[in-house]
Amino acid sequence: MRQLAHEIEEQLTHLRRYARAMTGDRNHGDRIAEHALVSFLHDNQRLPEPMALRVLLFRALQDARTLLDTSRTGPRGKPAEASANERNREPAASRDALHLHAFENFTHEEIAAILRRPFQEIEGLIALAHQDVSNMMSRRVLVIEDDLPVAAELSTIVMDMGHSVIGAAATQGEALSMVRDEEPDVIVSDIQLADGGSGIRTVNAILRTYPLTPVVYVTGYPERLLTGKGPEPAFLIRKPYTADQVRSVLSQALFFS
């Protein structure tokens, strides 16, 4: 049991990251992750299924999300997830499949087990998600990153998705100057900046003017922002990243904006 607890602890940050990204809410995502762990430990103390622990944990999380989301209501009394899907016309299962594949590196067989869907559907779900990302309405993106090659790479990925980049800021002063001229629809920010400044403080300063702007943080140490303690972000990208991971997380952030 001690070994099982240790293995589960190693997956906890991954579960929190996924739950937050797929719900667009740090608090609700953490509640889902907590509910999933309680259910998993209650139902799988002896791991009766011949399936990898990580797959079982993510499947428990999906089950918990389905259960808890049905009790949340949107502005007209409908489930919150259903309301979001109607507004954006993007099936939740396709977004889940893309994120599990691109960001969590699960195989199609594992995704099928996690989502409790036929294996034959997974490739189509991922293709649908890619198509929906391509069809997403163009948005304005502010990149805050002090590493010029990384800033250029992030900007290229954003523009390849069909969005515009209002600027790539290396310091807090540059970022604040850019948002005075144009309001961002989403912010993609590093944690530490070149002038010794903090990406988090910079973002917080921007959010005082534009409080509803979604934020995607890019960091080499995501576990520091996935503790479940204090104010933490909903959307995280770990360095080094792939273009598919950036596209997946950015589309999630825009989906809930």
Domain boundaries, the chain: 2-133, 136-255
Instruction: Considering only residues 110 and 45, tell me which one the structure prediction assigns the higher pLDDT.
Output: 110
State the pLDDT at residue 53: 87
State the pLDDT at residue 46: 53
CATH topology of domain 136-255: Rossmann fold (3.40.50)
- Work out the pLDDT band at 233, boundaries 50, 70, 90: confident
Q: What is the mean pLDDT of the chain?
A: 84
Instruction: Considering only residues 138 and 45, tell me which one the structure prediction assigns the higher pLDDT.
Output: 138
| Concatenated DSSP letters of the chain | -HHHHHHHHHHHHHHHHHHHHHHT-HHHHHHHHHHHHHHHHHH-TT--SSS-HHHHHHHHHHHHHHHHHTT-B-TTSSBHHHHHHHHHT--HHHHHHHHHHHTS---HHHHHHHHT--HHHHHHHHHHHHHHHHTSPP-EEEEE-SSHHHHHHHHHHHHHTT-EEEEEESSHHHHHHHHHHS--SEEEEESB-TTS-BHHHHHHHHHTTSTT--EEEEES-GGGG-SSSSS--SEEEESS--HHHHHHHHHHHHHT-
CATH topology of domain 2-133: Butyryl-CoA Dehydrogenase, subunit A; domain 3 (1.20.140)
Tell me what percent of the residues of the chain surpass a pLDDT of 90: 51
State the pLDDT at residue 49: 56
Taking only the tens place, the pLDDT of each residue in 121-168 is 999 999 999 888 888 889 999 999 999 999 999 999 999 999 999 999
